[in-house]
Structure formats: structure tokens, C-alpha cells
Structure 1
Amino acid sequence: MAMNDPRWGQNNDGPPDLEELWRRFNKRIGSFGQKGNGSGGDNNSSGRLPPIGGGIVIVIALLLWAASGIYIVDASERGVVFQFGRYLETTQPGPHWHIPWPVGSKEIVNVSEVRTIEVGYRNNARNKVPNEALMLTDDENIVDLQFAVQYVRTNPEDYLFYNRDPDQAVKQMAESAIREIVGKSKMDFVLQEGREELAINARDLMQSVLDRYQTGITVSQVTMQNAQPPDQVQAAFDDAVKAKQDQERQKNEGQAYYNDVVPKAQGAAARLSQEAEAYKGRVIAAAEGEASRFESVLNEYSKAPKVTRERMYLDTMQSIFTNATKVFIDQKDNSNLLFLPLDKLIGSGITRNASSFDAGMNQVNDIESGIGVNNEENRTRNAFRVRDRETR
């Protein structure tokens, strides 16, 4: 049967008549408002809504409509109220009411939820997205970066009015910021010691751009998940890293050797310097003592040259014989054979005696030169001493 057929609803095989349903509804409402009134059945049969019953319906409808404006904001949320599509206010945690639809509406924004955006990978670092991960460095090398951006919505009004797709906006800004920073850095810096610094700089740059566009978003953290060269050059890069590690190891070994040798050398130099100062002091003291003794002998010699000369001669001979090797032979011994190591005795004795004798003679000569004894007397005395030495 067609929809426009006038017989629609008259048979049992079709839906009930709408007018009949409305009439029954009005009849039931009227029965509540006119209890005990015998004419109520006649009035309801006309299909009109009784005044009292209609008022109750309107009141109930208004109450339900007004109750639909009640809402509760949790502690981690903020409510944004709109009126005729325009921003009205931001509500804090607790129960609130706004003019219901179609005049007013609301949006609840969670300002404590930490949301994560993945760039260069999905779910884990193995699921790479090459068009996002591959970036060019300042030294014209390509690096493969995967990082995650965590952010929170701190300004609900800006977040709702200035963002059509917040996640996509954060992702594009993160990728742009990382590419800019990597493009100003060297490859070794990006892959090794510069990861933390890159993350901090990227977060600051992203935040400045987000604030400039009034997105109502605050970047809490940028985490580098992975940083490596492309798979095609991974083996060569590993060799370069190993060579650099060997260089660092050798440098550390050299520094350790330096730290071990230099302090020892400095200590030895300080010790030698102290010994030299001590030797200097001893030599100066000995020289001053000799000079003082020489002056005292000179004074005595000027008073009694002969006596002083004889005393000095005796002192010199005493020192010679004291250091000389002497052999004593007992004449009472009846031994027929006597062995004397004359070569050794003579050699050692002559050396010691000559040195002692020369020292004594030099001292005498110095004294005589100091008091102005004439050269003839010196030559005669020296000749006499030489003859005495040869005789001995």
C-alpha cells in the first residue's frame, strides 16, 4: 500500500493513525486535570488539550529543558560556556549551570591530561616513518630521528577557538622545530652528545611558536627515542664511532701517563733544586771557613814567618804520613823470605802523599804570595823541598 493511499492506517496490517494516538494522549492528560468531572469525556473527545493539563506539560518541559543546563566539572577539567556560539566564560571545578540549547552550550576540557605525539615512528621505534624521521644536518649528512612530544592543554578558551586539529598542529610544529635545529647542527653532535640539548632547544622553539599562535597548549617534554644514521651507512658509521672511541681511549691513556710522569719529574726537579741549594750552602760555608782560616794563618805568618812555616810543614808531613801505607818489619823474625806488594803499596801511597803534599805546598805558596816574599827565596825553598821529596 502506498504512503499517500487514504486507506493507510485503517487496516490492521498498517501503523496506527497519528491523530488517534494524539487524541488518546490528550484524553489521558485530561483525566488527571478533571477528576470527578462527568463532562471530562466529552471535552477530551474533541482532541483539544485541557488548560490545566497543558500547563503542567509545559512546566515539566521547561523544567527538563532547564535541568539540561546543569553540569559538573571535575578537578582536572575546565568548562567553557558558549552563548549563541560565542565564548561566555570558563568555569572552575564544581557544579554549574548554563542556559541550555539552543541558546547556550558547553565544552569540557581536561587540563591535566598529558597527550603524546609521535614523530618519525608509530607505537615503537621499529615502526619508522621515513618521511618524518630523515633529516638533513648542517654538514650535509642525513640522520634518522624518532622523538615524542608530550603536551597539556592549559588554556581551554584558546585551545577550543584557535585549533582545528590540535594534535596535527603540535606534530607539524614539532617536526618543523626539530628540522630547524638539526639543520644547524653537525651530524656527530646530533647522534652522540647533543641529544639532550636538541630536545631542550626543540621544546623551547615549539613553545614559542605555540604561544605566538595562541593555541593554549604547553609542551611539557620532548624525548629523543632514537638517533642514528640511515641503514645504508650504518656499518661505516659504526667504524667511525669505533675509531673515535679508540682515539678517546688513547687520549685518556696519554693523559694518565702524563698525570703519572709529570708529578714525578716535578718532584725530582724540586729535590734536585733543594740539593743544589744545600750544596751551594755547604760550599759557601766551607769557602768562608777556609778564607777565615787562611786569614788567621796569614796573620800568624806575618808575625813569625819561620815558626809558622815550620809548623805548617810539620802539619803537612803529619797528614801525609797519616794517610800513607806503612809496612813494619820485625828484625827478630828469622824468616828467610819476605814478600812485599811494593807495586800496590807504592802506587797508592804516592798518590795519597802527593795530593796531601801538594795541598800543603799550595797553601804555603798562597800565604807567601800574600805577604810579598821575594821570588828568589821561593825558588830556593821549592828546590830544597823537591830534593827532599826525591831523597824520600
Structure 2
Amino acid sequence: MAWNEPGNNGKDKDPWGSGGGGGRRGDDQGPPDIDELIKNLGKKFNGLFGGKGGSGSSGSGSGGGAGASAGLLGGLVVLAVVVWAAMGFYTVDEAERGVVLRFGELRDEVVMPGLRWNPPLIDDVQKVNVSRVNTRSYSNDMLTTDENIVTVSLSVQYIVQDPVQYVVRVRDPQSGLDQAVESAIRHVVGGTTMDRVLTQGRADVAAEVRERAQSYMENYQTGIMVTQVNVENAQPPVAVQGAFDDVIRAREDEQRVQNQALAYANRVIPEARGEAQRIIEQANAYRDEVVARAEGEAYRFEQLLTEYRVSPEVTRERIYIDAIQEVLRNSSKVLIDVEGGNNMMFLPLDRMMQQAGTGAMGNNVTSLQLNNQQLRELADQVSRELSAQSTTDRSRTQMPARGPR
């Protein structure tokens, strides 16, 4: 039977530990008052933490409530410890490194990749990616050393080399990188002419900017390493863009004409040198030939002189015959000594050949060529015919004249 049913006569105690009822006095068995119940619970907790318990609570009831409250609090503490310990587990990726700060103080070790644990709310672990290549872009108008304005756009690639310096040394490393790059590019462009920045000097400008920016990062101890600087665009202001384009085209035309001239020179000069060398070799050969011929003639003259001293008449006749042969060797005229008279017959073979050639052309013959052998045969034939004719004429002259019978 329930403790508050009629007929129970108050024999059963209520579940709150009071003999007659939670919040009511007397013999009525009504439900306890909610306000009284909350007040009793507050008093028990106050007694557990050193406060005074309520006057309406019995001794046995206070002891039981304090034990239950202590068990509940212990469970809550254990649960809180478990949750706190679970919050301390974390994972560091392969490309990351961890920097540990314990109550704001830097720990010496750097957390390597893997599953790690650090006490939460005590250690602050900051993970830094040391493998990712980061890129930042910059574009500004700058003044060159020849007092021209040029618009330069470049991109900077960097990685985190030292995670401890990146986290601890500088409050905002990326802001420090921006300022360092701005200072470096203005310093380099300010000491360079505009033509060099716009044309072939971009690679040199990028290398100088990277070197100067890296020196700034090392001085600031930011832990950043600048790996690459690329000058993406460099151009004059828009108002004078057309004039600069004309200048660049004129410079390119100049370079093209110079290349053509160099190609022509490289082609002509070797030919001229070869021709000059050929003429020199021909002159040397002619000199050697003349010298050798002169030496040979001198030696021949010495030998001829020796023979002349031995037999002057024979040698003189031989020299005369050789001279006549040398003179008449290339002559196309033939002289024939006719026997029985003092006259000599002249045969103009050159004219005869020309007439024969003209007649041959009329007969669709291209030309008439006679060699030395044919000329000799022709001369011998003419000589024989003349000799026969001369003999006939002499025989007729020597015949006696016959008188009339």
C-alpha cells in the first residue's frame, strides 16, 4: 500500500525520509510540496559543501542524502577527467609540424607527424604546414632610376622552413613577408632603368628581389624561405603605352636588321677570303713556274753554249732551224719551194679553210677541222702535183720544133 493512501495510518515512511510527509504537518496524507522538496535538496547540498542543514531534516535522512550527492559528484568528476583526457588527443599530418606552448611558454621539442597527446587547456599546439608552397601576388606602380613610372606585377612563392620561428618570433609572418617584398621590389626597380625592366632584364630583377626578400626574412627570423619570384608583367602606364610599343617595335626592327647584316657578312667574308687565298695560291704557282722555267732556260743555255764551243757551225744551224720551227709552228700559211725556179708558192690554208667551212655550212655541215697530219698530207699532195706539172712543162720546152715537110 502506498504511503499516502487512506488506511495506511502513517506506518509507511515517505520516500523523502520524513516520517509524516514531505512538507505537511499533521495527520493528512497529501503529496509533498514542490517548493519544500527543492528547499530540502538545497539544504542537503549546502551541508555537503560545509553549510548547515535544514532544521526539519532528520539525522538519518541527512546522512543518506550526503552519500548520494558525494557519489554523484565523484561520477561527474570522473566523467570530466575522461572528457578532458580525450580532448588531448590529436593528429599531426605528414606535411605538418606541431609547436607546443605550455601556459604560453615555448616547449623545446617540435611535434612530429603521427597521433599525439598533450594536456588540453594546459598545452596549446599549433600545427604548421612545412611542405605546401604558398603564393602571394603583388602589383604596384614604381619609379625607375631614369625617372620613369612602370607598373610591375609579380608573384612570390614561399614555404615555411622553421615552424618555431614562424609561430613565435613574429606576430604576423605573412604581413612581414608582404612588407619585405614591397621594400625589395621598390629597391630593385628604383635602381634599374625602365628599358631593362620592360625587356630582357626581368629575370635579373626577379632574382635580385628574391635574394633581397630572403635576406629580410632571415633578419626578421620569420621562418619563411622565399623559393621563387616571377615577374608576370611589366609595362609602362596606359597613357604612354602606344609610344612605348612603337619604341619596342623599332628596337626589334633594329635587332632584325643587325642580324641580317651579320648573316650577310658571315656569308660574304668567307667567300672573299677564299677568293683571296685562291689568287694568292695562283700567284705563288705562277711565280714558281716562272722561276723554274727561267732556271731551266738558263741551264739549257749553259748546255747549248758548251755544245756551241765544241761545234759552232752545227750548233748555229740547229739553233736556226729550231727558231724557224718555233716561229712557223702556229702559222696557217704554207710556202712551197718549186723546183726549177726561184719563186716559192704560197698556200693560204687559213682562207682555204674558211671557204671550205662556209661551203660546208651551206651543206648543213657544222665545221671543218684539220689537224697537223692532214695539213702535212695536203701539203705533200700539192707539192707532188706541182712537181709533176713542172716536169711536164720542162719536157715540152726541150722538145725540138718540127718544120713543114
Structure 1: distance between partners of 2:135 and 2:154: 10
Instruction: Identify unmatched segments of 5+ residues in structure 1.
Output: 1-15, 31-38, 121-132, 332-338, 346-392
Q: Does the alignment pair 1:296 with 2:303?
A: yes
Corresponding residue of 2:180: 173
CA pair 327-86 structure 1, distance change in 2 beyond 3 A: same
Deviation of residue 117 (structure 1)? 1.6
CA pair 197-308 structure 1, distance change in 2 beyond 3 A: same
Write out per-residue CA displacement over residues 26-60 of structure 1, whole angstroms, 9 at most, x where no aligned residue: 99xx9xxxxxxxx9993489678633332222222
* AA matched with 1:284: V
Q: 1:65 aligns with which of 68, 81, 84?
A: 84
Q: Does the alignment pair 1:268 with 2:275?
A: yes
Corresponding residue of 1:249: 256
Q: Is the 8 A contact 1:22 1:47 kept in 2?
A: no
Structure 2: distance between partners of 1:326 and 1:150: 101
Corresponding residue of 1:99: 119
Structure 2: distance between partners of 1:65 and 1:40: 38
Instruction: Give aligned-pair identity as a percent.
Output: 44
Corresponding residue of 1:55: 74
Q: Classify the secondary structure of the residue corresponding to 2:333.
A: coil
Corresponding residue of 2:146: 139
Worse-superposed segment, 73-82 or 303-312: 303-312
Deviation of residue 291 (structure 1)? 0.8
Q: How does 1:1-392 map to 2 (within 5 A)?
A: 20=38, 23=41, 42-43=61-62, 50-88=69-107, 89-101=109-121, 103-120=122-139, 133-326=140-333
State the TM-score, normalized to the length of structure 1.
0.68
Q: Is the 8 A contact 2:158 2:225 kept in 1?
A: yes
Q: Is the 8 A contact 2:142 2:151 kept in 1?
A: yes
Q: Is the 8 A contact 2:98 2:125 kept in 1?
A: yes
Structure 1: distance between partners of 2:305 and 2:210: 95
Structure 2: distance between partners of 1:214 and 1:49: 59
Structure 1: distance between partners of 2:65 and 2:223: 60
CA pair 23-225 structure 1, distance change in 2 beyond 3 A: farther
Instruction: Identify unmatched segments of 5+ residues in structure 2.
Output: 1-33, 49-57, 339-345, 353-405
Write out per-residue CA displacement over residues 166-199 of structure 1, whole angstroms, 9 at most, x where no aligned residue: 2221111111111111122221111111112211
Q: Classify the secondary structure of the residue corresponding to 1:113.
A: coil
Write out per-residue CA displacement over residues 144-174 of structure 1, whole angstroms, 9 at most, x where no aligned residue: 1011112122211111112222222111111
Write out per-residue CA displacement over residues 309-364 of structure 1, whole angstroms, 9 at most, x where no aligned residue: 23322322333344444356999xxxxxxx998xx99xxxxxxxxxxxxxxxxxxx
Q: Classify the secondary structure of the residue corresponding to 2:227.
A: strand
Deviation of residue 287 (structure 1)? 1.0
State the TM-score, normalized to the length of structure 2.
0.66
Q: Is the 8 A contact 1:136 1:182 kept in 2?
A: yes
Q: Classify the secondary structure of the residue corresponding to 1:119.
A: strand
Deviation of residue 301 (structure 1)? 1.9
Write out per-residue CA displacement over residues 198-230 of structure 1, whole angstroms, 9 at most, x where no aligned residue: 112211211111011110111122121211111
Structure 1: distance between partners of 2:181 and 2:65: 70
The CA RMSD measured in Å over matched residues stands at 3.4
Deviation of residue 247 (structure 1)? 0.5
Worse-superposed segment, 304-313 or 275-284: 304-313
Deviation of residue 81 (structure 1)? 1.0
CA pair 149-255 structure 1, distance change in 2 beyond 3 A: same
Q: Is the 8 A contact 1:23 1:45 kept in 2?
A: no
Deviation of residue 296 (structure 1)? 0.5
Deviation of residue 261 (structure 1)? 0.3
Q: Classify the secondary structure of the residue corresponding to 1:55.
A: helix
The structure whose RCO (Cα within 8 Å, separation 6+) is larger is 1
